[in-house]
Structure 1
């Protein structure tokens, strides 16, 4: 049993040329970003589709270190944490963050590109704002 909704696994198969070239509608369980938990209505999980589903998938991928949890495939997650405590120039850090973002997110066939990456470094705190280009339109995200 997979943690991904059934159509995401099917999308991976079809995007690898093993099936139809048309992606099914993206679906994910709703996420309450404010409280960092599943979105519930009347105590029941909510299924979201399209751009919202892709945003949730991307957010989860950016919250999950790659290769740490056996519940996820080796392609899921990110390696941004490996940049911590490295003495890179701002330009080098920006370049590496962009590369790691793309490696983490472009495995999803619903995400077609990453743009408008803005890296903010304030002492030991680093934040990244960017736009994920999806087949459903653009999604602005912050990490």
Structure 2
């Protein structure tokens, strides 16, 4: 799998399953929405910490908008902007798009739960998933 944030490079060591190299990513400051640097260079994170960055970036990137990314990368949520997401039908549809976007990553084994909260016209969600490194929960 090409990793769009670390130039497609994945470190040479392998995971517990011995089938995938260790997943690496540039560290991300989620609060300030920017890369983290140490000694003037990008800080690198691995395994589930790297997957958190990949998930964050995937869920923020509209699919097919940018030529730099493969058609499998990103999510299709723009269609929901300005529409009510309080009903069961739209929640099921958004959940389907979240799962579809995240399961393109071979390091993610399953999406175990997606929980939505809707306050002040903002839809937030929490995703519990299983990766090759163990369980992980991320929030939007």
Normalised by the size of structure 1, how large is the TM-score? 0.82
Deviation of the 1:75 alpha carbon: 0.6
- SS in structure 1 of the partner of residue 92 of structure 2: helix
Distance in 2 separating the partners of 1:123 and 1:83: 15
Deviation of the 1:88 alpha carbon: 5.6
Report the structure, 1 or 2, having the larger helix content.
1
Match for residue 93 of structure 1? 90
Distance in 1 separating the partners of 2:128 and 2:31: 20
Distance in 1 separating the partners of 2:133 and 2:44: 17
How far does the alpha carbon of each residue in 1:82-105 deviate from its partner, in whole angstroms, 9 at most, with x for none?
Answer: 122335652112201110011100
Distance in 2 separating the partners of 1:80 and 1:2: 22
Q: Does structure 1 retain, via aligned residues, the 8 Å contact 2:85–2:123?
A: no
- SS in structure 1 of the partner of residue 111 of structure 2: strand
Q: Which runs of 5+ in 2 are unaligned?
A: 12-17
Bigger mean CA deviation after superposition, 119-128 or 54-63: 119-128
Moved over 4 A (4+): none
Q: Is residue 32 from structure 1 mapped to residue 33 from structure 2 by the alignment?
A: no
Distance in 2 separating the partners of 1:56 and 1:96: 24
Distance in 2 separating the partners of 1:2 and 1:33: 19
Please provide the CA RMSD for this pair.
2.1
Pick one of 51, 56, 80 that aligns with 2:53. 56
Match for residue 6 of structure 1? 9
- SS in structure 2 of the partner of residue 25 of structure 1: coil
Q: Which runs of 5+ in 1 are unaligned?
A: 9-20
Normalised by the size of structure 2, how large is the TM-score? 0.84
Distance in 2 separating the partners of 1:134 and 1:124: 31
Distance in 1 separating the partners of 2:9 and 2:76: 26
How far does the alpha carbon of each residue in 1:2-58 deviate from its partner, in whole angstroms, 9 at most, with x for none?
Answer: 7343239xxxxxxxxxxxx81111011111111111111122111111111111111
